[in-house]
Each structure stands twice: as structure tokens, then as C-alpha cells.
Structure 1
């Protein structure tokens, strides 16, 4: 429905800017969030991208919730504090049918049902707040690396081979050839260092792993960074520490969303604690009686380590010196160990990183041992023409967001999650 000629010739005012207009007439555009009648008065809550406000009037012809409205009136003090609108008139721009779920009551809706109706339920205030925090995480990541002279790149998501090998690849037909969805931009990041020295990417990655946990997605947003001319993996960990500090700073600016979600942001220390994998497994055995069969700490080990270091004052801990058997072929070796690391936050891995092999002959031998020499020839050949010492890391954006906000499930930190049971909407 078009706006009627009876609306005032006023520019649109966003709800967050209403304090600037107390006592003045304003024109708002937004969605009817809720409505109710009380003592002959009609109360409605209008929602726009910046917030919500109550509006009051008699004899309004209100449509159903989630209808789009143009509303005008005077900004006044509400009896119980804050501001509200004394309505002079409104137009219905788009009338909504009765929704299958009540947006203000999504906390009562089963999570699977809410995800089935995700295109609708992202309108909920909490749901929208989570995604605004995710956007702040991305802004902080980009801002930190832009400030350190990194160049943002975009790499292919249709590839002829996996960056890490293994079976966790989504295969597809590419004009009669076998192709895959990219499980990481890792190999392309490394190749781009010869041109830019410092690169990053924000983009989706795909893992064909049949996980059905609250920590995993089959498509997620990876925050990747790679830098050249490093001395060791310590340079990479120091960079990531600065990046995380900038991310938390950016998220702290979302005060209204953090209040709504009752989230407590962590401190990022100037020096995040480090512990080698060998020492960590020994600590778990000695202090907690916990043992595991493999060389790579499992989720229970990560949880215990998170609790241990939290008691010592840090919600973050770097696990370093992973054994070669637990790292991809391109990780820089050092005896039986590597210069690879993980970062744990609140007892869950959010990052994998380390120094990479930069010598051509060493890299070619590593791909040969891994059985990937033929499929990765385009990648290894670039190293024949010189590559500086380098390393990098990747952060799972949704996992970091979920942990920052204390969400119980990573799916809530993605607008339209994809897992092994969900391909719609």
C-alpha cells in the first residue's frame, strides 16, 4: 500500500534517535512488533532496524503484528520512564497475515521449529541482536587487519582438490569433472603472500562431516589471516591476540544487544597463556586423572583445560607444538612436533593456526607423504619460485560469536545454518 497524502512532510526518524526529538513531531517507518488494548487506549510497539518504541492512541485501525507501518506523532515522556509516541496517524504499508509463531515469544518455541521458520524468526529481538554481534565480530576482524596493512582477498569456493585432504569434502559435478566445495582458503592464502605479504579473507567454508553437535556447522564463516616474514609461530599468535582484542572492542560497542542477551565479554590479555600439547595432556593426567588415546586433545580435554586456565585468570589459552600426526601436511615440522597451534576460548577450540612450510623441496616431500602430490601440483609449483617464511590462522566466526554470548548452540549465531540435517530454508 502506498503512503497516503495525509502523512506529514517529515523525514524519517530512526527509533534510536528519538531522544533528540523529545517534544517534537516525528515520522517513523517500521514493523508492528506487538499491540494491545488497555482502558480504551491502544498500545503498539514499533520496531525498526535501530530498536523499538511504544506508541499510544485511541481508535487506531491496527493491522496484524509484523505489518509494515508509517506512523507519525509527538515524542513524549512515558509515565514509567523512557520515551513514547503520542500517535496522530498511521498508514499500513504492507499488511501481514497471522504469523505461525509469535515473534515476541520465540523463547518458548522449540529451537528446531524456530530454525524451520528462520526467515521469520530472525525478526525476533534476541535473534537479531545475535546476528548484529556477529556483524561486529566481522568488522573488528577486518579493522584489526586493515590497521596492520593486510589486503583482503577472495578465493575460489569451487576447487579441484581439498586443502587438507581427507574425506570431509562435498563433491559435485563441474561440467563433467570432479570438483569440491572448498574446505579452507589455506592454499590460496599462501600463494597470495608472494604478491601481498599479508592477506586475509572472510568467506564460507564447507566441511562434509556428519556432526550433530551444538559446536559444528557444515557451512560456516571462516576468518582467515596469513602473513609473511615471520620468525616463528609466536608472531602469528601475537597477531591473533591483537585481532581478538580489536574484535572484543568492536563488540563492546553493541551495548544494547549485549544487555538484551545478558552477555559478559572477556578480557583479552596482552599475552595469552601458552601450553604445549604434551604438557597439557600431562597436566590433565596429573591434576584431573584424565587420559585419552589420541595425540590431539578432544573436546573434554579442551573443556578441562579451559576451566583450569580460567581459574588462573584467563579465558583463553594457546595449545602449541602439536604432533605432526595431528596437523595438516603444510604445517612446519620440528622433530616429532610442529609449529602448529590451536586457541581455546572458554574451553572450546576457536582457532587452528601455525607456521607453514615455505621451502619447495620440503613442501613437495610433505605432499608426497600425504598422497596429495598430484592433486596439489599447482599449489606446490608456486613455491619453486620463492616463498618467504610465513604462517597464519583461521577463526570460526559463528563459534566465536556463540562463545562470546554464551549461546547454547552455534546454529543461533548464523542466519541460515547448514548442518547434516538442515538444507532449508
Structure 2
């Protein structure tokens, strides 16, 4: 029966059949070591010349990197093996002897590897990253499902911008203008008025001409929205969600974290509650740390977020940003209207903002004024105003950027490795 490398532990002492690819091979004349991978893991197959037919030995000699084959063998426990098991090979059946593999066992430049991204994702490190990405997605959805959220899928084609910005990808929708979504948030607010607690999970697009290690053109967002939830309660949900996600990765992805040489002691500190500082306090901290030219009302850039994060051993909330630097829908603090009830969650180790959220304006008249102040097109946003006319309630929400979260948890230098096929400023291939 065909099984997998991941299930090898359940078959110690038994003969199994694997479908695999050859990752590497070495031979000492009468013994051959086949490094095999099957998408679920890696295992070493040991082939003894005097225990197999000459035909099988010759077939094994012909195998090249990434050749595909079926392998039969007895699973043997071996503490020296990375996986704890080896396979004493009894038979192989070659499916294909692969052409010379372009990604050799040597250092390649990033551009070369990105041009061959369709092959690069087969490597142990890239496979580990994608497994951790999948675990993060699973953990997020499990947490939200457990806490009564309903998944709702917003449209990808929209008639306008969510935040009133110009960083949009334009397309024609028959005889109308349309844009690729930069957030599903506004639609989630509508869904929350129907289902109370909702979330979306899908791709979003930002036409920013940025080349930083934190930016992608296409990325994935988890966007919960909650009726009858204020700013304070939203912060608690955010920190509980992220602490759950990190713990889930620690519980289920130890092998992958080891492959990435990730310092898990930093992740083990991610426990709720998280520290909080106000925007005002963050500005004071920056002034003390040498950013004397940073003025109240400026938005934080990567160097500022990194410096703030260095003062804490876990993610930190920065709350109450100036009203003028945040989106039109964020609710001003009733006690201090020049700031809004919002927070950005900054990851440790220089990874920047991974969650942004706020309490939304629920006053119809105030939202009308914000429309006018931001010169928003009424015809595109009338439906959003309707939400405040027909049963308005206090409500809050946030967006978690998947790729930045993956980059931080994996300890990566760049977000381009956090998604199978990244879209960046100068890359649309493969």
C-alpha cells in the first residue's frame, strides 16, 4: 500500500511503498544512499548492492536530482537520522529520470532563485516556510471559528478604494471603472451588521512602488469585523488570536522551525497581554532614541517601528494615532478628537506592523463630515453610509497581514519567501 514519509513512524519494521523524488544521492561502491522527499517529509533510503537485483542497482545509478520514482523498503528506526527513521530499500521503479536540475547544490543569487520559484519551493527551507504558513492559516481560522466568527468572502473587484488612496490597480468592468481590492473591510462591516462577528480571508492588492523587505504587491489578509465590540475588547481579541497562532506553530512545526534555524525562545515570549503605548509615548521614545526630527503628526516608518519594538520582548500595540494620518472611518476618541481609537501591532525583531485595527465611526453625521473632508465620491460609498442609517451600532475590526506574520514567525529577511509565487514591483513571473 502506498504511504508517505510523514507516516513512516507507524510502519517501523514493515515494508512500505513510497512515491518520491530524489533530492540527493551518494554512493560508496557497494552501498547507495538515496535522499528522498515526497512532499510530506524527507527520508534516507539505503540501497545495498548485494541485496537487490542488478537491474534495480543500475536503475538507481541513473537517477538524477528530482527524478521521480516508486520505492519499496523496510522502515527502520535510526536516532542518527534527521527524521528518526531510514528506509532499507528493496526495490525501486523509476517514473522519470529528470533533466539536469537548474538549482544545483551551490549558492544561487536571489534573482535566479526567484526566476525558478516553481522549483525553488521544493527545497527544505522553502517547504518549511510554506508548511508554517499553512499552520498559521489553520490556527487563525480555528481560533475565529471557535470564537463565533463567520467567514464571509468580499469581492475582489470594487468600484472604489477602501481607504481613499490612489495606490490601486485599475481595470475596466465592461463600461465602468473598477479596481482590485486593497481591503475587504468595508464589506465586512456590512456583513457584521447581518452576522455580528465575521472575518474574511483573501488576496488584496496595493499598487505601491515599494521595494522594501516588508512589501508585496499581492498579499493575503485576515480581516475580522465585530458588531457591539469597542476598541478595548478588539485589542484583547487581537492579542489572544496572535498568541494562539504562535503557540500553534510552536506545537505543530518544531521540525520546520529547526530547518529554518529559528530562535524559538523569542516566540515563546509571545503571551497575552501585550504591552501598549500611545502614539504620544512612542514619539517621546523616538526623541529619546535619537529621532529628534520626528514630529507629532508624522506617520511611523520602518526605522521608527523597529526602534520602538526594540524596547519590548513581544509584540507591542501603539494606540491613539493622530486622526489626520489614519483612514476616514476610524472613530475619534470622544475625550480627545484629534486622535482616533485605533492601534497598530508591531512585531519584535524589526518586522514592523502585522495588525492594524480600530473602532469604526458609528455616528451617521460624523461619517458624513469625514466623507466631505476626504473628498470621497458619494456614488461609490452611499451603501457604506447606509450602514449608519439603518441600525448603527458600535463596532470594531482589524486586519492581520499574513505574509508579514509568516516572515516574523519564520525569522526571514524578506517577505518574498512567505508566499508561493510572490508579486513584487518588478516581478510577475513565474
Fold match (TM-score > 0.5): yes
Paired residues for 1:181-330 under 5 Å: 181-230=180-229, 232-252=230-250, 253-263=252-262, 264=264, 265-293=267-295, 294-309=297-312, 314-330=313-329
Q: Residue by residue, what CA displacement relative to the aligned partner does 1:314-359 show, whole Å, maximum 9, x if unpaired?
A: 3211000010111100000121110011010114111110100112
Distance 2:212 2:174 in 1: 35
Distance 1:176 1:95 in 2: 52
Root-mean-square deviation (CA), in Å? 1.6
Does residue 177 of structure 1 match 2:176?
A: yes
Paired residues for 1:72-221 under 5 Å: 72-77=72-77, 80=80, 82-102=84-104, 105=105, 108-221=107-220
1:18 to 2, 5, 8: 8
Structure 2 vs 1, CA of residues 396 and 47 (structure 1 numbering), >3 Å: closer, same or farther? same
The residue number in structure 1 matching 2:54 is: none
The residue number in structure 2 matching 1:395 is: 400
Query: Are the equivalent residues in 2 in contact too, given 1:143–1:246 (CA < 8 A)?
Result: no
Distance 1:289 1:117 in 2: 41
TM superposition shift of 1:79:
9.3
The residue number in structure 1 matching 2:387 is: 382
Q: Residue by residue, what CA displacement relative to the aligned partner does 1:364-391 show, whole Å, maximum 9, x if unpaired?
A: 2211211114121122123211122101
Structure 2 vs 1, CA of residues 419 and 19 (structure 1 numbering), >3 Å: closer, same or farther? same
TM superposition shift of 1:183:
0.6
Deviates more, 1:263-272 or 1:72-81: 72-81
Query: Are the equivalent residues in 2 in contact too, given 1:44–1:56 (CA < 8 A)?
Result: yes
The residue number in structure 2 matching 1:417 is: 422
TM superposition shift of 1:88:
1.5
Deviates more, 1:367-376 or 1:131-140: 367-376
Distance 1:216 1:279 in 2: 27
Q: Give the TM-score normalised by structure 1.
A: 0.92
Query: Are the equivalent residues in 2 in contact too, given 1:214–1:409 (CA < 8 A)?
Result: yes
Tell me the secondary structure at the aligned position of residue 89 of structure 2: strand
The residue number in structure 1 matching 2:25 is: 35
Extract unaligned runs of 5+ from structure 2. Answer: 50-56
Distance 1:290 1:16 in 2: 55
Q: Residue by residue, what CA displacement relative to the aligned partner does 1:33-86 show, whole Å, maximum 9, x if unpaired?
A: 111221322221110122111112222413222122111022235595543222
Distance 1:112 1:122 in 2: 14
The residue number in structure 2 matching 1:3 is: none
Query: Are the equivalent residues in 2 in contact too, given 1:284–1:291 (CA < 8 A)?
Result: no
Tell me the secondary structure at the aligned position of residue 65 of structure 1: coil
Q: Give the TM-score normalised by structure 2.
A: 0.91
Distance 1:35 1:41 in 2: 11
Does residue 341 of structure 1 match 2:343?
A: yes
Distance 2:408 2:72 in 1: 41
Structure 2 vs 1, CA of residues 79 and 250 (structure 1 numbering), >3 Å: closer, same or farther? closer
Query: Are the equivalent residues in 1 in contact too, given 2:287–2:294 (CA < 8 A)?
Result: no
Q: Residue by residue, what CA displacement relative to the aligned partner does 1:388-419 show, whole Å, maximum 9, x if unpaired?
A: 21011111101011011110001011110011
The residue number in structure 2 matching 1:4 is: none
Tell me the secondary structure at the aligned position of residue 209 of structure 1: coil
1:352 to 341, 347, 356: 356
Structure 2 vs 1, CA of residues 92 and 350 (structure 1 numbering), >3 Å: closer, same or farther? same
Structure 2 vs 1, CA of residues 85 and 179 (structure 1 numbering), >3 Å: closer, same or farther? same
Number of equivalenced pairs:
407
